[in-house]
Amino acid sequence: MRKSENHSIVLSGMRPTGALHLGHYTGALENWVALQDVYTNYHLIADYHALTTNTDTSRIFENTIEMVIDWLAAGIDPARSPIFRQSQVKQHTELFLIFSMLVTKNRLERNPTLKEQVRDLGIESENLAYGHLGYPVLQASDILLYRAHAVPVGEDQLANIEITREIARRFNREYGEVFPEPKALLTEFKRLPGLDGIDRKMSKSLGNTILLSDTPETIAAKLRKAVTDPLKVRRNDPGRPDVCLVFTYHRRFNAGEIDEIRAGCTSGALGCVECKQRCAARIADALAPHREHRVPYEKDRSLVLDILAEGEKKARRRAATTMRAVHRAMRLGGRIGKTSVS
Protein backbone atom coordinates (compact mmCIF):
# COMPACT_ATOMS: atom_id res chain seq x y z
CA MET A 1 0.00 0.00 0.00
CA ARG A 2 1.25 3.47 -0.84
CA LYS A 3 1.71 5.86 2.02
CA SER A 4 1.18 9.59 1.85
CA GLU A 5 0.96 12.43 4.35
CA ASN A 6 -2.78 11.89 4.49
CA HIS A 7 -2.46 8.22 5.01
CA SER A 8 -3.44 7.04 8.48
CA ILE A 9 -0.87 7.91 11.08
CA VAL A 10 -0.06 5.70 14.05
CA LEU A 11 1.73 6.90 17.15
CA SER A 12 3.33 4.35 19.46
CA GLY A 13 4.98 5.26 22.74
CA MET A 14 6.92 3.68 25.56
CA ARG A 15 8.68 5.02 28.60
CA PRO A 16 12.47 4.44 28.50
CA THR A 17 12.81 1.67 31.07
CA GLY A 18 16.02 0.15 29.66
CA ALA A 19 16.49 -3.25 28.03
CA LEU A 20 13.18 -4.78 26.99
CA HIS A 21 11.88 -8.20 27.95
CA LEU A 22 9.87 -10.93 26.25
CA GLY A 23 6.61 -9.47 27.55
CA HIS A 24 7.32 -6.22 25.69
CA TYR A 25 7.97 -8.22 22.56
CA THR A 26 4.80 -10.32 22.56
CA GLY A 27 2.66 -7.51 23.95
CA ALA A 28 3.74 -4.50 21.92
CA LEU A 29 6.82 -4.60 19.72
CA GLU A 30 5.68 -7.43 17.49
CA ASN A 31 2.57 -5.42 16.78
CA TRP A 32 4.47 -2.18 16.11
CA VAL A 33 6.70 -3.90 13.59
CA ALA A 34 3.70 -5.25 11.69
CA LEU A 35 1.93 -1.86 11.69
CA GLN A 36 4.80 -0.23 9.78
CA ASP A 37 3.75 -2.02 6.62
CA VAL A 38 0.32 -0.46 6.63
CA TYR A 39 0.59 2.93 8.31
CA THR A 40 2.96 5.82 8.74
CA ASN A 41 4.30 5.23 12.24
CA TYR A 42 5.85 7.60 14.74
CA HIS A 43 7.72 5.97 17.63
CA LEU A 44 7.91 8.08 20.73
CA ILE A 45 10.27 7.64 23.67
CA ALA A 46 8.33 9.12 26.57
CA ASP A 47 11.26 10.44 28.58
CA TYR A 48 9.25 13.23 30.22
CA HIS A 49 6.65 10.70 31.26
CA ALA A 50 9.38 8.67 32.94
CA LEU A 51 9.80 11.56 35.39
CA THR A 52 6.25 11.28 36.68
CA THR A 53 7.05 8.22 38.77
CA ASN A 54 10.81 8.60 39.13
CA THR A 55 12.63 11.92 39.13
CA ASP A 56 16.05 10.23 39.25
CA THR A 57 17.41 10.81 35.74
CA SER A 58 20.88 9.34 36.26
CA ARG A 59 20.17 6.34 34.01
CA ILE A 60 17.70 7.85 31.60
CA PHE A 61 20.19 8.19 28.73
CA GLU A 62 21.47 4.59 28.97
CA ASN A 63 17.93 3.30 29.40
CA THR A 64 16.86 5.15 26.27
CA ILE A 65 19.73 3.78 24.18
CA GLU A 66 19.14 0.21 25.43
CA MET A 67 15.46 0.42 24.60
CA VAL A 68 16.05 1.85 21.14
CA ILE A 69 18.56 -0.92 20.36
CA ASP A 70 15.81 -3.42 21.17
CA TRP A 71 13.30 -1.55 18.97
CA LEU A 72 15.75 -1.57 16.06
CA ALA A 73 16.74 -5.20 16.57
CA ALA A 74 13.07 -6.20 16.65
CA GLY A 75 12.58 -4.65 13.22
CA ILE A 76 11.44 -1.06 13.67
CA ASP A 77 12.76 0.56 10.51
CA PRO A 78 13.84 4.14 11.24
CA ALA A 79 13.81 5.04 7.54
CA ARG A 80 10.05 4.49 7.48
CA SER A 81 9.15 5.06 11.12
CA PRO A 82 10.83 7.97 12.91
CA ILE A 83 12.11 7.24 16.42
CA PHE A 84 12.39 10.27 18.69
CA ARG A 85 12.54 11.50 22.28
CA GLN A 86 9.66 13.53 23.61
CA SER A 87 12.08 15.89 25.35
CA GLN A 88 13.74 16.80 22.04
CA VAL A 89 10.59 18.00 20.31
CA LYS A 90 9.62 21.11 22.23
CA GLN A 91 6.10 21.28 20.79
CA HIS A 92 5.03 18.48 23.17
CA THR A 93 5.27 20.86 26.08
CA GLU A 94 3.54 23.67 24.21
CA LEU A 95 0.57 21.52 23.34
CA PHE A 96 0.56 20.04 26.84
CA LEU A 97 0.15 23.53 28.25
CA ILE A 98 -2.74 24.38 25.97
CA PHE A 99 -4.46 21.05 26.64
CA SER A 100 -4.08 21.50 30.38
CA MET A 101 -6.65 24.31 30.05
CA LEU A 102 -9.14 21.99 28.39
CA VAL A 103 -9.45 19.30 31.04
CA THR A 104 -10.60 19.57 34.63
CA LYS A 105 -8.70 18.53 37.72
CA ASN A 106 -11.68 16.42 38.68
CA ARG A 107 -11.56 14.51 35.39
CA LEU A 108 -7.89 13.70 35.93
CA GLU A 109 -8.44 12.62 39.52
CA ARG A 110 -11.13 10.19 38.38
CA ASN A 111 -8.74 8.52 35.91
CA PRO A 112 -8.61 4.80 36.83
CA THR A 113 -5.06 4.38 35.45
CA LEU A 114 -3.85 7.07 37.81
CA LYS A 115 -5.78 5.65 40.75
CA GLU A 116 -4.26 2.24 40.21
CA GLN A 117 -0.75 3.63 39.93
CA VAL A 118 -1.15 5.75 43.04
CA ARG A 119 -2.36 2.68 44.92
CA ASP A 120 0.44 0.42 43.61
CA LEU A 121 3.15 2.95 44.38
CA GLY A 122 1.63 3.91 47.73
CA ILE A 123 1.55 7.64 46.95
CA GLU A 124 -0.47 9.83 49.37
CA SER A 125 -2.80 12.12 47.45
CA GLU A 126 -1.21 15.24 48.96
CA ASN A 127 2.17 14.04 47.63
CA LEU A 128 0.96 13.45 44.10
CA ALA A 129 2.99 15.62 41.73
CA TYR A 130 1.11 18.10 39.58
CA GLY A 131 2.84 16.60 36.52
CA HIS A 132 1.80 13.08 37.52
CA LEU A 133 -1.84 14.17 37.68
CA GLY A 134 -1.30 15.62 34.21
CA TYR A 135 0.22 12.40 32.79
CA PRO A 136 -2.67 11.76 30.37
CA VAL A 137 -2.62 15.40 29.23
CA LEU A 138 1.00 15.02 28.17
CA GLN A 139 0.08 11.73 26.52
CA ALA A 140 -2.70 13.53 24.62
CA SER A 141 -0.10 15.99 23.36
CA ASP A 142 2.12 13.07 22.24
CA ILE A 143 -0.66 11.62 20.16
CA LEU A 144 -2.38 14.75 18.83
CA LEU A 145 0.85 16.60 17.98
CA TYR A 146 1.26 14.12 15.11
CA ARG A 147 -2.49 14.18 14.39
CA ALA A 148 -2.42 10.41 14.81
CA HIS A 149 -5.47 8.38 13.89
CA ALA A 150 -4.58 5.34 15.94
CA VAL A 151 -2.52 4.32 18.95
CA PRO A 152 -1.53 0.71 19.63
CA VAL A 153 -1.87 0.13 23.37
CA GLY A 154 -2.63 -2.50 25.96
CA GLU A 155 -5.79 -2.56 27.99
CA ASP A 156 -4.21 -0.59 30.85
CA GLN A 157 -3.87 2.49 28.60
CA LEU A 158 -7.48 2.72 27.41
CA ALA A 159 -8.46 5.25 30.06
CA ASN A 160 -5.62 7.54 28.98
CA ILE A 161 -6.64 7.29 25.33
CA GLU A 162 -10.20 8.18 26.30
CA ILE A 163 -8.89 11.42 27.83
CA THR A 164 -6.99 12.12 24.58
CA ARG A 165 -10.24 11.72 22.64
CA GLU A 166 -12.09 14.04 24.98
CA ILE A 167 -9.40 16.70 24.66
CA ALA A 168 -9.45 16.42 20.85
CA ARG A 169 -13.23 16.84 20.79
CA ARG A 170 -13.14 19.76 23.20
CA PHE A 171 -10.42 21.53 21.18
CA ASN A 172 -12.18 20.98 17.86
CA ARG A 173 -15.51 22.20 19.26
CA GLU A 174 -13.98 25.30 20.79
CA TYR A 175 -11.50 26.36 18.10
CA GLY A 176 -12.30 24.44 14.93
CA GLU A 177 -11.39 21.07 13.49
CA VAL A 178 -7.65 20.48 13.87
CA PHE A 179 -7.35 17.00 15.38
CA PRO A 180 -8.60 13.58 14.36
CA GLU A 181 -10.14 11.65 17.24
CA PRO A 182 -7.63 8.82 17.64
CA LYS A 183 -8.65 5.20 18.09
CA ALA A 184 -6.97 2.76 20.43
CA LEU A 185 -5.69 -0.28 18.54
CA LEU A 186 -6.03 -2.76 21.31
CA THR A 187 -3.16 -5.19 21.21
CA GLU A 188 -4.55 -8.68 21.20
CA PHE A 189 -4.25 -9.87 24.75
CA LYS A 190 -1.03 -11.83 24.75
CA ARG A 191 0.06 -11.36 28.31
CA LEU A 192 3.18 -13.30 29.02
CA PRO A 193 3.59 -14.52 32.60
CA GLY A 194 6.85 -13.83 34.44
CA LEU A 195 9.32 -16.42 35.74
CA ASP A 196 7.75 -16.37 39.20
CA GLY A 197 4.39 -17.89 38.33
CA ILE A 198 1.57 -18.25 35.89
CA ASP A 199 -0.60 -15.42 37.25
CA ARG A 200 1.97 -12.64 37.44
CA LYS A 201 2.79 -10.71 34.34
CA MET A 202 6.36 -10.30 33.19
CA SER A 203 7.51 -6.94 34.45
CA LYS A 204 10.77 -5.22 35.22
CA SER A 205 9.60 -4.02 38.62
CA LEU A 206 8.75 -7.62 39.63
CA GLY A 207 12.22 -8.85 38.61
CA ASN A 208 10.78 -11.86 36.78
CA THR A 209 11.86 -11.15 33.20
CA ILE A 210 13.71 -12.77 30.33
CA LEU A 211 15.40 -9.93 28.45
CA LEU A 212 15.44 -9.87 24.67
CA SER A 213 19.21 -9.40 24.98
CA ASP A 214 19.80 -12.35 27.38
CA THR A 215 22.34 -14.95 26.25
CA PRO A 216 21.31 -18.63 25.92
CA GLU A 217 23.22 -19.35 29.17
CA THR A 218 21.34 -16.65 31.06
CA ILE A 219 18.03 -17.86 29.68
CA ALA A 220 18.81 -21.44 30.77
CA ALA A 221 19.83 -20.26 34.25
CA LYS A 222 16.66 -18.19 34.63
CA LEU A 223 14.46 -21.06 33.43
CA ARG A 224 16.11 -23.48 35.87
CA LYS A 225 14.71 -21.40 38.71
CA ALA A 226 11.26 -20.92 37.19
CA VAL A 227 8.20 -22.08 39.10
CA THR A 228 6.47 -25.23 37.78
CA ASP A 229 3.51 -27.33 38.88
CA PRO A 230 3.93 -27.58 42.67
CA LEU A 231 2.43 -31.08 42.67
CA LYS A 232 5.14 -32.45 40.40
CA VAL A 233 7.87 -32.93 42.98
CA ARG A 234 9.85 -35.88 41.64
CA ARG A 235 10.85 -36.54 38.08
CA ASN A 236 8.33 -39.31 37.53
CA ASP A 237 5.36 -37.59 39.16
CA PRO A 238 2.65 -36.80 36.62
CA GLY A 239 2.49 -33.04 36.00
CA ARG A 240 -0.33 -30.67 34.99
CA PRO A 241 0.86 -28.70 31.98
CA ASP A 242 -2.12 -26.37 32.06
CA VAL A 243 -1.09 -24.88 35.39
CA CYS A 244 2.63 -24.87 34.54
CA LEU A 245 4.42 -21.67 33.64
CA VAL A 246 7.05 -23.46 31.60
CA PHE A 247 4.34 -25.07 29.52
CA THR A 248 2.93 -21.64 28.64
CA TYR A 249 6.37 -20.77 27.30
CA HIS A 250 6.50 -24.06 25.33
CA ARG A 251 3.16 -23.11 23.82
CA ARG A 252 4.53 -19.82 22.62
CA PHE A 253 8.06 -20.86 21.60
CA ASN A 254 7.94 -24.61 20.98
CA ALA A 255 4.62 -25.18 19.25
CA GLY A 256 6.10 -27.96 17.10
CA GLU A 257 6.77 -30.24 20.08
CA ILE A 258 3.83 -29.22 22.17
CA ASP A 259 1.99 -32.58 22.06
CA GLU A 260 5.08 -34.52 23.00
CA ILE A 261 5.85 -32.15 25.90
CA ARG A 262 2.29 -32.39 27.16
CA ALA A 263 2.28 -36.19 26.98
CA GLY A 264 5.71 -36.46 28.62
CA CYS A 265 4.78 -34.12 31.47
CA THR A 266 1.41 -35.77 32.13
CA SER A 267 2.76 -39.32 32.07
CA GLY A 268 5.78 -38.45 34.18
CA ALA A 269 8.23 -39.53 31.46
CA LEU A 270 9.57 -36.00 31.09
CA GLY A 271 11.12 -34.40 34.16
CA CYS A 272 11.06 -30.67 34.85
CA VAL A 273 14.82 -30.30 34.50
CA GLU A 274 14.85 -31.58 30.94
CA CYS A 275 11.59 -29.86 30.08
CA LYS A 276 13.09 -26.53 31.18
CA GLN A 277 16.30 -27.12 29.25
CA ARG A 278 14.35 -27.76 26.08
CA CYS A 279 12.19 -24.72 26.68
CA ALA A 280 15.22 -22.47 27.31
CA ALA A 281 16.83 -23.70 24.09
CA ARG A 282 13.73 -22.82 22.04
CA ILE A 283 13.47 -19.35 23.60
CA ALA A 284 17.16 -18.80 22.91
CA ASP A 285 16.60 -19.88 19.29
CA ALA A 286 13.71 -17.46 18.95
CA LEU A 287 15.85 -14.63 20.29
CA ALA A 288 18.99 -15.47 18.30
CA PRO A 289 18.20 -13.12 15.39
CA HIS A 290 17.33 -10.38 17.86
CA ARG A 291 20.64 -10.74 19.67
CA GLU A 292 22.44 -10.71 16.36
CA HIS A 293 20.65 -7.58 15.16
CA ARG A 294 21.67 -5.79 18.35
CA VAL A 295 25.40 -6.29 17.69
CA PRO A 296 26.18 -3.37 15.34
CA TYR A 297 24.44 -0.90 17.66
CA GLU A 298 26.13 -2.32 20.75
CA LYS A 299 29.48 -1.92 19.03
CA ASP A 300 28.76 1.64 17.97
CA ARG A 301 26.13 3.43 20.00
CA SER A 302 26.59 6.58 17.97
CA LEU A 303 24.52 4.83 15.28
CA VAL A 304 21.60 5.03 17.68
CA LEU A 305 22.17 8.72 18.26
CA ASP A 306 22.25 9.35 14.51
CA ILE A 307 18.92 7.54 14.17
CA LEU A 308 17.43 9.63 16.97
CA ALA A 309 18.72 12.85 15.42
CA GLU A 310 17.12 11.93 12.11
CA GLY A 311 13.84 10.87 13.75
CA GLU A 312 13.72 14.02 15.84
CA LYS A 313 14.15 16.16 12.76
CA LYS A 314 11.16 14.46 11.07
CA ALA A 315 9.06 14.60 14.22
CA ARG A 316 9.75 18.33 14.67
CA ARG A 317 8.67 18.99 11.12
CA ARG A 318 5.25 17.43 11.62
CA ALA A 319 4.95 18.94 15.10
CA ALA A 320 5.65 22.44 13.75
CA THR A 321 2.92 22.06 11.13
CA THR A 322 0.42 21.01 13.79
CA MET A 323 1.36 23.89 16.09
CA ARG A 324 0.88 26.40 13.29
CA ALA A 325 -2.62 25.02 12.77
CA VAL A 326 -3.28 25.13 16.53
CA HIS A 327 -2.10 28.71 16.92
CA ARG A 328 -4.05 29.79 13.87
CA ALA A 329 -7.24 28.12 15.11
CA MET A 330 -6.77 29.73 18.52
CA ARG A 331 -5.84 33.14 17.14
CA LEU A 332 -2.63 33.13 19.10
CA GLY A 333 0.13 35.19 17.53
CA GLY A 334 -1.07 37.14 14.52
CA ARG A 335 0.06 40.34 12.90
CA ILE A 336 -1.22 43.91 12.69
CA GLY A 337 -4.04 44.11 10.19
CA LYS A 338 -4.76 40.44 10.46
CA THR A 339 -6.86 38.54 12.91
CA SER A 340 -4.77 35.41 12.76
CA VAL A 341 -1.35 34.16 11.83
CA SER A 342 -1.06 32.64 8.43
- Residue 307 interacts with ligand TRP (CB under 6 A)? no
- Beta strands (DSSP E) in the chain are 9-14, 40-45, 83-85, 150-153, 183-186
| Cβ nearer to ligand TRP, comparing 151 with 245 | 151
Rounded least distance, CB 320 to ligand TRP, Å:
19
187 near ligand TRP, judged by CB under 6 A: no
- Nearest CB to ligand TRP, comparing residues 46 and 265: 46
C-beta of 42 vs 249, nearer to ligand TRP: 42
Q: Which is nearer to ligand TRP, 25 or 249 (CB)?
A: 25
Candidate list 157, 187, 209, 228; residue touching ligand TRP; CB under 6 A: 157
Q: Based on CB atoms, which residue is closest to ligand TRP, 84 or 247?
A: 84
Q: Sheet holding 183-186: strands in order across?
A: 83-85, 40-45, 9-14, 150-153, 183-186
Output 161 or 275, the one with its CB closest to ligand TRP.
161
Q: Using CA atoms, how far apart are residues 212 and 68, in angstroms rounded to an integer?
A: 12
CB 92 within 8 A of CB 51: no
**What is the x/- site pattern for ligand TRP, positions 14-53, by CB under 6 A?**
xx----------------------------x-x--x----
Measure the CA–CA gap between 57 and 72, rounded to whole angstroms.
23
Least spacing, CB of residue 178 vs ligand TRP, in Å? 18
| Touching ligand TRP, residues 111-140 (CB under 6 A) | 139
Helix 112-121 to helix 158-175 angle, to the nearest 10 degrees?
Answer: 140
* Burial environment of residue 320 by CB neighbours within 10 A (0 to 12, 13 to 18, 19 or more): middle
Residue 77 near residue 36 (C-beta atoms within 8 A): yes
User: Footprint of ligand TRP on this chain (CB under 6 A)?
Assistant: 11, 13-15, 44, 46, 49, 139, 142-143, 151, 153, 157, 160
